[in-house]
Amino acid sequence: MKIFKKSNWNRLYPSFFFLMVLTVMASCKKNKCPEGFESVDDQCVCPDDKFVGNGMCRDLKPNEYYASLAHCTCADTIFVEIIERNDIHLRVRFDLGWGFEETGCSLMKMTDGDSLYTVPNSTFTSRLACPINGKLANTQIFGKFIENDSKIRVTLKYMRYPDFEEELGRCEFVLHK
């Protein structure tokens, strides 16, 4: 029976320790992706069947729509969930990246797709205020359901707060289910 000398073990121990540290670091690196994301080639990627925005990667709810707003002012992504709908009114919950807000929209029944809109100042909360060229703005929303309600064509008008008399800009996009 051969017994290792203490000096041989002392030489092997640092190599063994270094190998263990590398193994632990490699396993930790693979698990650093936020919820919903997957690690692909050491990068966190949102799978094609999910939607990414506001630091999240997630599925859409049954009555929820999604759009990338990279070309818009003050927000880069929006999730909109219809929580109530009747012949003249629509209630939606939306997330622009800093939490959910709710608002009501008027609804007009039309043969080519129902239209929705908000009246000035109906959606204002300080969390939704957006500075544009040194002026405080809030949005008016205009939209039209298209393609059998699977999409909503939307125009956001950035109106000067508090009088809503001056349009400071606008953004157009399509929300997808």
pLDDT on residue 168: 94
| C-alpha separations of 103 from 31, 91, 154, 157 in Å | 38, 6, 15, 16
Contacts of residue 107, Cβ cutoff 8 Å, sequence gap at least 6: 85, 86, 87, 88, 89, 90, 114, 115, 116
pLDDT on residue 9: 47
Instruction: Per residue of the chain (177 residues), give pLDDT as tens.
Output: 555 455 554 554 455 545 454 454 555 445 589 999 999 998 999 999 999 888 889 999 999 999 999 888 888 899 999 999 999 999 999 887 777 888 889 999 999 899 999 876 665 566 677 889 999 888 888 999 999 999 999 998 988 888 888 999 999 999 999
Instruction: Name the DSSP letter for residue 113.
Output: -
What tokens does 72 get?
């818009």
pLDDT on residue 103: 87
pLDDT on residue 31: 58
Task: Say if residues 127 and 105 touch (Cβ distance below 8 Å).
Answer: no
